[in-house]
A and B are shown apart, each in its own frame.
Chain A
Amino acid sequence: MLGNQIGGLGTPGALSHAYVQHPPLRCDIPDIPGLFYDDANKFLVAPTADRILYWKIVPSLPSGPPNSDPVNDGPVLSVRYSLDHKVIGIQRSRHEIEFRNRETGETCSKKCRADSETILGFFWTDCPTCDVILVKTSGLDLLAYDPQSHAFRLVESKKFNVSWYLYTHESRLILLASGMQCTMFTGYQFSAGGIVKIPKFEMMMSKSEANNKPVLAADDVHIVTVYGRIYCLQLDRVSMTLNLYRFYRDAVVQQCTLPTYSSRIAVSAVDNIIMVHQIDAKVVILYDVSLDSYAPVSAPLPLLVRGLPSNSRQASQTADSQSSAYGGTIYGEGWNFLIPDLICDAENGLLWKLHLDLEAIAASSSDAPSVLEFLQRRKSDPSMVKTICLAIARTIILERRPVSTVAKAMDVLLDSYSRLMKMGGGLPGVRRTHEQNQQLGGQPVEGSPVISQETSPGTTVSPVNPDQAGGVTNRSAQSNSGVDHGADRVTGTSGYRTSDAVNKRQQVVGEDSRPLSSGTSMQHGQHAGSVAISPVEMFQSVFAVVEDEMMGDPAYLAAVIMEFLRSASKAGLKAPSNLYVMMATLLARSNRYAEIALFVSNKIMEPSKELAVQLMEIGQQHPPTRKLGLDMLRERGLHHDYVAALLQDGYFLEALRYARKYKVITVQPALFLEKAVANNSAQNLAAVLSFFCEFTPSFKSTSDFGRYRHILSEMV
């Protein structure tokens, strides 16, 4: 996927791999203090003086007017609906949160001590022991809600200093920053599986000058969830680099450092692709971390607005002309990036959804196998993915790419399909391996517990020390291997266990098959199946389509089919019998009859009636091949066809013998008799007649008997 050419893309005018679709959701309500986003419920919230207006923005951007809830008048710092939507939580000040029961209109508030602490924020959780987490400068308050009395009870308090915090409902992960530079982090995951604490860790910050220590801001840290794994991206403004960390159940490991071209970045996740928006440079870089590769999917390209009414996506379209058309600026000042794939233009009151241009991405690389791998991991638009994959498969054959390349492409497609088959449709609650899950998306990607209950007691993890670069890379390598091999892998030198957060999540899901959350990801799960391409579809949409055009080079197509069969056999899949028919035809066209015989004898071409018939057809020019077809009929137990074919070839005595042995009564006696007459041998005709008299008792009463007896008497 690297090294694409920026110019000359396949899709005309689309010098972009990511776009937002026009029209956006218009949310420009006059006289509101601001727009809020409730990422747990995916509500875009606009508080007015006495009401809360909200749009539910899943599964797609709505077009109608917002819903509304009456609330008390007052300042609004943030709004979060409870997960069952029964209670609205409104942060009124740095010391007070008001909870309002939507049915009864009852309210109650939670306040903190004004002198010693302030409320940084709050969120609802599906954790079994509590419902609301209050984040304060002095720590966390875990509150349980009692719907009857509409009251909150303090379950637990966790005390420590907090400078700022970061929470996404998708990851259920809260990161709490502390320390002089705000680089020390404490983390918790509040998930349906329980509360897990992440070991303290420190993020890397370069020093600009001696004694000038920069402070890490909340804006520079982003939690991103892809493939059910939780990552964190941290911008280091001094070195202009982006540090990527991954959360394991008992470790936080830096994976790599990515370059940046902007002092401000934003991060989105679209269909498991990490989009890093370089806001100053007005470009976006895509990363696909599924195979722990951290190379960008393509070079930095601008974000495009698609479907603008005034123009038709011309190549010359600039950011300026786009902005004039929709009335805002791409990567303008008012853009807020919402979890996971939304952009809210607060200045203009617009909400955009981000999309990947899979066609453009596919066209940007000539490395077909990796493009196909990339596409097979996508879930957002299965029919589009399938169409592109089939088109690629056809193209590489038509362009006569090296057989080894085509073979790799076949491997990718068939492996993907066979994994789907093994999953058997992705039932929830079924335990599966991490890799199957991330490829197929059978499970929602949200809410991954980071820490396992199985963490063995006594295993300790030392925090990542930024001064020991060697130690960091070492650990990183070990953790990577841990990812692939599941949970309980003991890594060598450091003597601690790394294991896969996702793996653990599967176990939690398996033991407690309550759905973790609703939302878009569940739909992904349902659609995921159709990304994969079955051998039958491969035949219909690839081989059958290219066959005519490949007539000039049957050997190449035959070699490609052979590789396809090899891939299919490796993946444990059966190929459609039509494919063998095609293969036999191709080989016969280049007079490769010997190979047909070889492939029939070693079962490369699996026997079927269709193939047998085709072999007999081909065998018109090559008798030994016809014999292969005949033998196949016999071996398949297709007695009627076998007898008929023997007869057609003039072996009528053999046909009779066979008919007697296998009691084949479906072939008309007249056919045999005709052949005997054609042979002009009274002896043979007499033999056939007497055979049928014995074999079919009713034969003597048929008109055939009389007619041929008459012929016989004339012959003698």
Chain B
Amino acid sequence: MGLSTAAAGDGAQLCVFDLRRGQQEGQELDKILFFHPADCPILLQLSVIGLCEGIVTFTRIFSPEEDCEVIESEKHSHVFYQAEPDIWMVLVVEKTKVNEPTWRCGALQGILKEAHSLFAMFHGPIRTLLDRQPSAELARGHLRTFLTDYLSDFYVGKKLQFPTYRDSLKERGTVQMLTVSREVALEVQSLTTVLGSCLGNATCQSLILFEDLLVSTTLPPDDTLNLYTYAVLRLTPRALSSNASSWSYLRKGTSVNAGPTSSSSNGTTAGERPLLREKLSKGKDGFVAADFTATEVRGAVPLTPILWFQQAEERMYLCIYQHKSLTILLLIPASSLINGEEGITHVKKQMLENGSQKIVTVEQKLSRGWGGENAYHVGGYRYLLVDPDRRVSRASPPGKVTTLAKDSLLALNRLRQEVDLEKSRHKTSDPCHDKDFEASIRTKNNAWVIAKITRGRELYMALEKGGETLLYASTAVEKFSNR
């Protein structure tokens, strides 16, 4: 199969295991919920998981509160993430060079976190699945299809390519917002009100995106983030167009491989495999839905994915509507919707009846004010701004970041690694207060890399024409902050 040839070369492993399972000798295999590559020999799988379990148990002795984050060996790094109590995700990556790490532990953990959050959004917590079916068939089936689909995004050629120092001015796990004028914001909010009232008896939630940027949300930050991430991965016009164009031998291979799951007797639906690219497309009515051939549709399978919301504590149906560059994610509380698909059709109708005019207006106003891909470029600066409270970030456009020298980016990567450490240290000592922090470092290629944390907000910056003095660099940062 396609995957086996691909897996052999990439050297990265991703596993999910449950420490509460397989605790008796001989049943170790029961711990494994997911392992990538799937064709990895069982013995090797067991040895990776055994090592990880050993480390986790060992580090708990002297650090009961804080989880083990990473172990560095000569050739590999193991990045840990405890997704749910006793359910661990571990990413093993091969080191390319000896001394200089080319990626950041926090960034890799971000991948695990994102994968788990998305999984939980579509399928609920892993623990719940395990409790529902102790044989773990259900959980394994979902994890296999979901994570395989998720990892498919990281393939470059036949290799899994995870974020490196080149991505140090990006922050996974944040939302990118569109800045709009007050007048337009009010129009958008008015549309949100209309969207909220589509159901009648209960309020619908909604997210509105323009291009790949978030315009408005009614959900709490974590749920917003998950849905936003999903939308940018699969649903926005750009994602949809790449769905259609990036069909490849490889993906074909993986999807065939992952296809037959325990629940596949119903046929795979969008609800089952939300990250499967080929299935999603925009219909004539403007709604984005899974696009199935006739043979795959079997009766009353819900075509609309149901989502689990952690912060909103509710299960909701997701309807996706698209008008030009505008993507609307409408969330219908499952508890308030009595007759399933029929009810959703009704809500969609309501939405079009009451909202069409406003959708068109909002799209026009947003397009008029849209500054294009480089709208948030600030001349002379390469920056990343993160607001962890709101899970929001803004960065120099990727096209501009690529103009930075490799040395600048490597230095920035190192600096970020340090800041991550400092942050977690401070968090353990004083969780209630933010600590202000500022570091400016002169790199080998005479650039400045700067990290500044003010009242919880983080700013990372690379200045290649930054002049000689530290004063110059800090004035530049000041200027930037006052914008």
B residues near A, CB below 8 A? Answer: 177, 179-180, 182-183, 185-187, 189-190, 193-194, 196-197, 203, 216-221, 224, 354, 389-390, 432-433, 436, 455-456
Contacts and interface: CB of A to CB of B under 8 A. Distances in A.
B433 A651 contact: yes
A563 B193 contact: yes
A566 interface: yes
B217 A562 contact: no
Nearest to A603: B182
Contacts of B182: 569, 602-604, 606
A602 B185 contact: yes
Given A566-B186, A627-B456, 16 more contacts: A404-B354, A565-B186, A569-B182, A569-B183, A594-B217, A597-B389, A601-B177, A602-B179, A602-B180, A603-B185, A604-B182, A623-B389, A627-B455, A630-B455, A649-B433, A654-B455
A584 B183 CA distance: 19
A202 B29 CA distance: 102
Given A566-B187, A602-B180, A594 B193 contact: no
Interface string A621-656: 001100100110000000000000000011100100
A664 interface: no
Contacts of A597: 389-390
Given A595-B218, A597-B390, A624-B389, A604 B193 contact: no
B122 to A, nearest CB: 21
A598 interface: yes
A501 interface: no
A593 interface: yes
A461 interface: no
Contacts of A569: 182-183, 186
Contacts of A592: 218
7 contacts: A403-B194, A559-B193, A592-B218, A594-B219, A601-B177, A604-B189, A650-B433
Contacts of A650: 432-433
A595 B203 CA distance: 15
A464 interface: no
Contact of B190 (A402, A563, A606): A563
A606 B12 CA distance: 50
A223 B278 CA distance: 74
A648 to B, nearest CB: 13
A562 B220 contact: no
Interface in A10-66: none
Contacts, number: 70
Contacts of A623: 389
Nearest to A622: B389
Given A594-B219, A651-B433, A562 B193 contact: yes
A594 B433 contact: no
A555 B203 contact: yes
Nearest to A625: B389
A588 interface: no
A579 interface: no
Contacts of B187: 566
Contacts of B196: 555, 559
Interface in A645-680: 649-651, 654
A149 B32 CA distance: 122
A407 interface: yes
Contact of A403 (B193, B220, B433): B193
Nearest to A568: B186
A566 B221 contact: no
B193 A627 contact: no
Contacts of B217: 594-595, 598
A566 B189 contact: yes
A44 to B, nearest CB: 55
A248 to B, nearest CB: 35
Nearest to A651: B433
A715 to B, nearest CB: 20
A598 B208 CA distance: 13
A599 B177 CA distance: 13
A566 B180 CA distance: 14
A588 to B, nearest CB: 13
A254 B196 CA distance: 47
B219 A604 contact: no
Contacts of B203: 555
Contacts of A404: 194, 354
Nearest to A604: B185
B256 to A, nearest CB: 41
A593 B389 CA distance: 11
Contacts of A595: 217-218
B21 to A, nearest CB: 36
Given A603-B182, A627-B389, A627-B456, A594 B221 contact: yes
Interface string A552-571: 00010001001101100110
Q: Which 9 A-B pairs have the closest CB atoms?
A: A624-B389, A602-B185, A566-B186, A559-B193, A603-B182, A562-B189, A604-B185, A594-B220, A566-B190
Contacts of A631: 455
Given A594-B221, A624-B390, A627-B456, A562 B436 contact: no
Contacts of A630: 455
B197 A402 contact: yes
Contacts of A570: 183
Contact of B224 (A594, A601, A649, A651): A594
B133 to A, nearest CB: 34
Interface string A423-445: 00000000000000000000000
Contacts of A598: 216-217
A603 B185 CA distance: 8
A620 to B, nearest CB: 13
- Residue from the set B193, B196, B433 with the largest chain A CB neighbour count within 10 Å: B193
Nearest to B189: A562
A608 to B, nearest CB: 14
A593 B219 CA distance: 9
A133 B447 CA distance: 94
Contacts of B180: 602
Nearest to A595: B218
B333 to A, nearest CB: 13
A565 B179 CA distance: 19
Contacts of A407: 190
A271 B158 CA distance: 82
A28 B216 CA distance: 73
A631 B454 CA distance: 11
Nearest to A631: B455
A592 B218 CA distance: 8
Contacts of B193: 403, 559, 562-563
A563 B194 CA distance: 11
A482 B444 CA distance: 75
A418 to B, nearest CB: 15
Contacts of B216: 598
A406 B85 CA distance: 49
Contacts of B219: 594
A29 B398 CA distance: 96
Contacts of B185: 599, 602-604
Nearest to A562: B189
A204 to B, nearest CB: 41
Interface in A378-394: none
Contact of B220 (A402, A559, A565, A593): A593
A402 B187 CA distance: 17
A566 B186 CA distance: 5
A249 to B, nearest CB: 38
A604 B197 contact: no
Contacts of B354: 404
A559 B389 CA distance: 25
Contacts of A555: 196, 203
Interface in A66-101: none
Interface string A526-538: 0000000000000
Interface string A350-371: 0000000000000000000000
Contacts of A562: 186, 189-190, 193
A446 B455 CA distance: 66
Contacts of B197: 402-403
